[in-house]
Amino acid sequence: MSLVQERWDELADIKRVLAIRDWFPATSGNLAIKVNHDPLTFLVTASGKDKTKESREDFLEVDQFGQSLYDTHLKPSAETLLHVEIFNKTDAGCSLHVHTIDNNVISELYADKGEIVFQGQEIIKAYGLWEEDASFTIPIIPNYAHIPTLANEFSKHVSAAAGAVLIRNHGITAWGRNALEAKKYLEASEFLFSYHVKLLSLKALVR
Amino acid sequence: MSLVQERWDELADIKRVLAIRDWFPATSGNLAIKVNHDPLTFLVTASGKDKTKESREDFLEVDQFGQSLYDTHLKPSAETLLHVEIFNKTDAGCSLHVHTIDNNVISELYADKGEIVFQGQEIIKAYGLWEEDASFTIPIIPNYAHIPTLANEFSKHVSAAAGAVLIRNHGITAWGRNALEAKKYLEASEFLFSYHVKLLSLKALVR
Amino acid sequence: MSLVQERWDELADIKRVLAIRDWFPATSGNLAIKVNHDPLTFLVTASGKDKTKESREDFLEVDQFGQSLYDTHLKPSAETLLHVEIFNKTDAGCSLHVHTIDNNVISELYADKGEIVFQGQEIIKAYGLWEEDASFTIPIIPNYAHIPTLANEFSKHVSAAAGAVLIRNHGITAWGRNALEAKKYLEASEFLFSYHVKLLSLKALVR
Amino acid sequence: MSLVQERWDELADIKRVLAIRDWFPATSGNLAIKVNHDPLTFLVTASGKDKTKESREDFLEVDQFGQSLYDTHLKPSAETLLHVEIFNKTDAGCSLHVHTIDNNVISELYADKGEIVFQGQEIIKAYGLWEEDASFTIPIIPNYAHIPTLANEFSKHVSAAAGAVLIRNHGITAWGRNALEAKKYLEASEFLFSYHVKLLSLKALVR
């Protein structure tokens, strides 16, 4: 199996599992996986598709500027530039962007603080943090409609090969060295968002 | 493959995906997809079926008055007249009606206002609105038991080829130029309802 | 296909769909479908099985006293006596008992009133009530540990061929003339419970 | 079929069903099933795997100290020592550890009390308690980062062949004489957690 096919299958696996959770409402969300390092090429979701379906047109291969490598009627997802930032600045191998109810709620509740900090949760180990008092911070940035401006703001928070950034009232982008790590960062973040939302209202009510 | 079979398969795909989400509780919900433009014919769900099952009797083809084209024991869904309004007044190609907990809750909370307005959410782009301050309004109409009266009230809010209307304590009807767009309008609306419901109670509790 | 096989398949279909929704937590829940009218025989779930699995031992056929028709190591569900009441007193053809979070919550919140009344919801039509101001009452009975006592109390609320009864902090039993109607009554009730629970807390918070 | 293959299949079945519920976020969770009694060997999940996937490397067989029986690149789950405590101290045959939103919320809300007590719920019968006023207590222990310390604290609450312990902001471990009983204890506990969380906020709001 060719390298590009191998990467395609890894990304298709993730797409299938996240689609079952309804993490791609209204054709939203986009996924990217690196194929070659130098020069950089990566597979990214084609724009405007219903991600509960599977086809040979789900992804297309693009270069370090997010432009398709070949002539095609497919367009890369509008937010491909965010994945470009990640792959160009770090050793990340996979990057996932999804809209969920709870990541939108958290992004709105903590927008003024510009971040949300998680501490004292076992699941933080998924971020590679094993100390008892470890904390993990997820930055929250404004949702600029102008994608290059958004990519620029986003880029300020991209320095490690794995990480997560919330865009206000929009969604999360989580990335990692490979598909497994990117998915792990994504799922740990969503777990923490859902936990936090639920605990917040309960503590307000019962204490 | 014939045109009617192609449309059947598109509608069956949507029915399957929405059934998994439990968006057709107690045999509720109905779906329609246009087959011919002039004279108008469309496929619509047969009345009273459990939509978690699939059969050759799931849909039947009806004319511009919502009457079956052929002799059959199947009856079109009771609310076929609402789809008739949409197909007769606009260039819509597909129309979806579902009952969910959150669309019922929103319809009750905002019934007195007669509408709910969404603004500042990325997912609004699903409605084809790309400006940063774009807003999308979903009208809320009373749930008249008399279907022609309901269809008449509903019709007042049907002018574009894509849109969405809430019926109080009943459900949403969302439509679009084709199956993909109708599903996109429906999913964007449900996402916004769920987001709004959750944020509303959290803001009341923690601010 | 024999009649008993036909009924088996109908009940297995329902079991499969409800299992996906996690409506049988911890091997709870039981399902029954009538095979013969006179003398009465019906299929009922075998006790203690994990209902996310399927086997030829999922159901067994019992008589009008809830006793197995044949020699078997399988035991009918502990609450078979409730289904006996329904089949003996009415023309019901199918009876479903499930534990869900929301039916337990409603049963506890309204236990003192002894019932919950739903009105003004479109989904009430699933109960065969088509008038605009129709209401549907679901009785709530105490959860007697002694099954014959429970069956006796339950029996007081069994008079029509379709209906629903809540048992406090236990679950719902819904029945109908056939599998489709029983499932419709069950799903309409669960929809109303979930809607009510959600609206109740929102109204307390935002009004 | 060999005994180890039989046990493998039982554990794989549970893994598949719990993965669909998203009870293994971010590669978390671990499962164990006894193969031989004396000397003790058991199958346990390999560390760091995405549990929505299935492979011949999902589990490995370990001895009474939690060490692999054979030479392998696979590592047993970090919390294998907790399963070791259970199998060494009791007649349990299966032990399941999962992270869910609701078990984390409950573990935080009741951490100071060191336990949560459930009473008056039908589902308590899943724990083998059939009296009307039976109660079931789930201890809540601190989440020591040092696994041997955690295992030691955990061990204090392990005396019966079936039981459940919550680890604060971490997850639940539930076990039983066999796969069916362990899953039953797990599901009953999760049902009670979700029920309790929902009722708690509703009672605070509407009474």
Whether B66 shows a pLDDT value over 80: the answer reads: yes
Question: Hey, are the CB atoms on A200 and B205 less than 8 Å from each other?
Answer: yes
Q: Which residues of C touch D121 (CB under 8 A)?
A: 104, 169-170
- Residues B87, B63 contacting (CB under 8 angstroms): no
The number of distinct structural domains making up chain C is: 1
Chain segment B150-162, per-residue pLDDT in tens: 999 999 999 999 9
pLDDT score, position A66: 97
CATH of residue B180: 3.40.225.10
Q: From the CA atom positions of chain D, what is the Rg in Å?
A: 17
Whether B78 shows a pLDDT value over 90: the answer reads: no
Q: Which of D16, D20, D21, D22 to probe by mutation at the A interface, max A CB count within 10 Å? A: D22
Whether D164 shows a pLDDT value over 80: the answer reads: yes
Chain A residue whose CA is closest to B20:
A20
Whole-angstrom Cα distance, residue B81 to residue B68? Answer: 13
pLDDT score, position A207: 65
Whole-angstrom Cα distance, residue D1 to residue C92? Answer: 45
pLDDT score, position D179: 98
Dihedral, D115, D116, D118, D124 alpha carbons, nearest 10: -70
pLDDT score, position C131: 85
Chain segment D42-61, per-residue pLDDT in tens: 999 999 999 999 999 999 99
pLDDT score, position B131: 85
Per-residue pLDDT of chain A (207 residues; tens, 9 = 90+): 799 999 999 999 999 999 999 999 999 999 999 999 999 999 999 999 999 999 999 999 999 999 999 999 999 998 999 999 999 999 999 999 999 999 999 999 999 999 999 999 999 999 999 887 899 999 999 999 899 999 999 999 999 999 999 999 999 999 999 999 999 999 999 999 999 999 999 999 886
The SS3 of residue D120 is coil
Whether B132 shows a pLDDT value over 90: the answer reads: no
Residue among B122, B130, B205 whose CB faces A205 most closely? B205
Q: What is the mean pLDDT of residues B14-18?
A: 98
- Residues B154, B165 contacting (CB under 8 angstroms): yes
Whole-angstrom Cα distance, residue A61 to residue A49? Answer: 16
Q: From the CA atom positions of chain A, what is the Rg in Å?
A: 17
Question: Hey, are the CB atoms on B202 and A105 less than 8 Å from each other?
Answer: yes
Mean pLDDT of the residues in chain D: 96
In angstroms, the separation between the Cα of residue C150 and the nearest Cα of chain D is 12
Residue among C28, C105, C145 whose CB faces D195 most closely? C105
Q: How many CB pairs under 8 A join C and D?
A: 69
pLDDT score, position C56: 96
Residue among C132, C187, C198 whose CB faces B101 most closely? C198
The answer to whether B146 is annotated as binding is no
Q: Does the reported pTM lie above 0.90?
A: yes
- Structure letter (DSSP) for residue C74: -
Question: Hey, are the CB atoms on D108 and A199 less than 8 Å from each other?
Answer: yes
Chains that touch C (3 or more CB pairs under 8 A): B, D
pLDDT score, position B58: 98
Which residue, D4, D12, D60, D76, is CA-closest to D36?
Answer: D4
Which residue, C58, C61, C59, C82, is CA-closest to C70?
Answer: C61
Range of the domain at D118: 3-205
b/e sequence A1-33, b meaning 16+ C-beta within 10 Å: eeebeebbebbbebbebbbeebbbbbbbbbbbb
Whether B207 shows a pLDDT value over 90: the answer reads: no
b/e sequence C25-42, b meaning 16+ C-beta within 10 Å: bbbbbbbbbbbeeeeebb
pLDDT score, position C207: 65
**ipTM above 0.90 for this complex:** yes
Residue among C126, C183, C191 whose CB faces B101 most closely? C191
Our CA angle for A81, A84, A86, nearest 5°, is 120
Q: Which residues of A touch D22 (CB under 8 A)?
A: 21
- Residues B198, A197 contacting (CB under 8 angstroms): yes
In angstroms, what CA-CA distances link D59 with B127, C89, D8, D37, D147?
A: 47, 52, 8, 18, 20
H or E element that contains C92: none
Helical ranges in C34-132 per DSSP H: 80-89, 101-109
Stretches where chain C sits below pLDDT 50 are none
Question: Hey, are the CB atoms on A180 and D50 less than 8 Å from each other?
Answer: yes
pLDDT score, position D131: 85
In angstroms, what CA-CA distances link B202 with B196, C103, C156, D159?
A: 10, 24, 43, 42
In angstroms, the separation between the Cα of residue C67 and the nearest Cα of chain D is 22
Give B44's pLDDT tier (boundaries 50, 70, 90): very high
Q: Which residues of B touch A145 (CB under 8 A)?
A: 130-132
Q: Which residues of C touch D185 (CB under 8 A)?
A: 26
Whole-angstrom Cα distance, residue B117 to residue B133? Answer: 12
Maximum separation of any 2 CA atoms in chain A, in Å: 61
Whole-angstrom Cα distance, residue A65 to residue A80? Answer: 9
For the record, the structure tokens of B46 come out as 């047969």
Residue among C28, C170, C201 whose CB faces D205 most closely? C201
- Residues C158, C85 contacting (CB under 8 angstroms): yes
Q: What is the mean pLDDT of residues D36-46?
A: 97
Amino acid symbol at C30 = N
Chain segment A5-64, per-residue pLDDT in tens: 999 999 999 999 999 999 999 999 999 999 999 999 999 999 999 999 999 999 999 999
